[in-house]
Amino acid sequence: MQNETRRVSQRFFAPCAWVRGAWARQVLLSVDEHGNWHGVEPDSPPPADPTVTVLDGPLLPGLVNAHSHAFQRAIAGLTEFRGDARTAVGDDFWSWRDRMYSVARRITPEQLERIAALLYAELLAGGYTQVCEFHYLHNAVDGRPYADPLELSLALVRAAQRVGIGLTLLPALYMRSGFGAAGLRDDQRRFASTPDSVLRLVEGVRALAATLSGVNAGVALHSLRAADAGALAEVAAFAADGGLPIHIHVAEQAQEVRDCVAHTGQRPIAWLVDHLPVDARWNLVHATHATPAELQAVAACGASIVICPSTEANLGDGVFDLSCYVGSAGRWSIGSDSHVTRRWSEELRLLEYGQRLTQQRRNVAAQFGRSASCGAALFEAALAGGAPATGRALGAIEVGCRADFLVLDRHCPALLGVPAEQLLDALVFSSPDATIAEVFVAGQRRVAGGRASGNESEFGLWPALAEDFVRTMKVLWA
């Protein structure tokens, strides 16, 4: 009854749409004044009403990007070289991190906003309609707090609002450089936070969200190595009281696992599940080096794992054990993390190919999905895990969910001649990637002709974003 009292503000007609895990034909869709789906009617006759927007291609729900460090877009493609003699043999996550810090130490709020705006436009064009920003850049370049503690958070909010992507901002707790350390290293001073400062940031973002569409807040714990047990528990309790999503990096690196065992006597995920109230609001980022027992424990808690295949491959992290986890009914989502790629189709392709390479068999994800289609199984699972990462009703063409959707270019080479039932397989596994012609967020078009248009004219936004980004890169890498 509540839905009936809402006014329909827009209507669309799609030749086919992905509804509840299958293709529905001739779908009439209506959106209410709040930007949520009001009606979904398959098998409808083509509309005679000129106010109905007829979409020229298959329609998919938008996907959540559940893990992002926006500033790292500034180093994409710039760390792919052999280091000096000291690092050449052991070039790994930790040597990459030192290079990443060179940007983290220097980036200004204005530069962050410009980098994030271009990135968020790329993510929209790549099929993401909401991004979870795991935000640990809090302080000024000298490590002192800004006069407004929200200075860098506001830069990310402005960037998201400019291009029209949904944003879940996750201020992160970061207190020490490693297990047993007394504090942070000098090159980490911008990350410094306490439970109190993080909670104030979250409350500030929540106040902003009350006045802005498409923005909400959660909390992040950088990692077990970055804070002590008491601080972790304090922030986790705050999140539980507020019903907020909570995200944490965990078990990304083998060295991290060894350090955790040395200092706590337990592996990271085992410690986390034993000592903190892990439940369905929790999102464990990476979990690459987890045992079957740990993965089963995560699934039993109802938590989700955020897999970042392109970053995990780029950094040489390892391959997540998808078969074990999904075989335990575990929920997962995807993120683009360091943004070496910005399309979800590539993340899903890399995830499946990693499983095939390690297991020497094909269509691994399809073994656990409702559909025989590997592409459909991957897409459905990523949708189901993405929405809880944001704490919002997203990722489905269903009444009450936000009206986020993509329109595929049925005439692009990757989809030419492909039967309708296998469009998702071609979308994920046929490259160059299929073209996403249009993207809508809350019923508003944000990508046209494959490029982000935001609130501006069809092609008015991208040139300005690109110019700002190039100017910023020249300063950062002069």
Q: What is the distance between the alpha carbons of residues 442 and 348, in angstroms, rounded to a whole number? A: 24
Report the alpha-carbon distance of residue 217 to residue 204 in Å, rounded. 9
Q: Are strands 436-441 and 405-408 parallel, antiparallel or unpaired?
A: antiparallel
Note whether 165 and 129 are within 8 A (CB).
yes
| Residue 130 φ/ψ, nearest 5 degrees | -145, 140
Tokens of 117: 């705006």
Distance CA 201, CA 207 (A): 10
Catalytic residue numbers read 286, 337
Q: Nearest 10 degrees: CA dihedral of 220, 222, 227, 230?
A: 20
Residue for token digits 């993965």? 295
**DSSP of 157-215, one letter per residue?**
HHHHHHHT-EEEEEEEE---SSTT-SS--GGGGGG---HHHHHHHHHHHHHHHTTSTTE
- Closest of 127, 216, 211, 208 to residue 441, by C-alpha: 127
Under DSSP, the state recorded for 335 is: -
Q: How far apart are CA 426 and CA 433, in angstroms?
A: 9
Contact between 124 and 116 (Cβ < 8 Å): no
CB-CB contact of 98 with 84 (8 Å):
no
Structure tokens at 289: 């080096």
Between CA 423 and CA 430 the distance in angstroms is: 10
Q: Contacts from 104-107 at CB under 8 Å and sequence distance 24+?
A: 104/71, 104/137, 104/187, 104/190, 104/191, 105/141, 105/187, 105/190, 106/141, 106/476, 107/71, 107/74, 107/137, 107/476
| CB proximity list for 157: less than 8 A, separation 6 or greater | 167, 169, 205, 208, 212, 215
Give the Cα-Cα-Cα angle 462, 468, 470 (nearest 5 degrees).
100
For 166, list phi and psi in degrees, rounded to 5: -75, 145
Residue 362, both tokens:
């094909």
- For 271, other C-beta atoms within 10 Å of its C-beta total 19
